Amino acid sequence: MDIFNKMGEELSNMGSEFVKLTKDATDTAKQHATVISENSKISEQYRIIGETLYKVYKDDEEMKEILGEDFVDAFNKIESSKQKIADSKETIAQNKGGTICPDCGNIVIKESSFCNHCGRKMKND
């Protein structure tokens, strides 16, 4: 009978250890999720700060001088990318037989009087 008590005790200890390992693994996974979530929040705030800085100072030559070459280079890269996007959208619109709405940037069929996305009155040439 003593052997069954020892086996029962051993199984009980193994079960307790398994529960602890499972709890630790779950807690570790939660902590990893928290790290990822908080890093994502920080990245979003950096994005907002950068976008705000860009919008406020992109045309301010005096402030560009204060901010330095790295910011000016970044501002120029943003403007270059914006132009490439605009050019590509225009090409896509032309390929589809349309034009770009100057307000929302969506493709509008050339014969349309209004943009079907934002409602802007379109010029029909």
First-to-last CA distance in the chain?
99
Q: 108 with 99: CB under 8 angstroms?
A: yes
Judged against a pLDDT cut of 70, whether residue 125 lies above it is answered with: no
Predicted pLDDT at 74: 92
Collapse the DSSP code of 114 into the 3-class scheme (helix H, G, I; strand E, B; otherwise coil) and give the result.
strand
CA distance linking residue 106 with residue 93, whole number of Å:
9
Q: 115 with 122: CB under 8 angstroms?
A: yes
Q: 2 with 9: CB under 8 angstroms?
A: no
Judged against a pLDDT cut of 70, whether residue 84 lies above it is answered with: yes
More confident residue, 2 or 32: 32
Q: Where are the domains of the chain?
A: 2-83
CA distance linking residue 26 with residue 31, whole number of Å:
9
The pTM score is: 0.60
Q: What percent of the chain shows pLDDT beyond 70?
A: 98
For the residues 38-56, what does the mean pLDDT come to? 94
Shortest CA distance to 67 belongs to which of 77, 80, 54?
54
For the residues 32-58, what does the mean pLDDT come to? 94
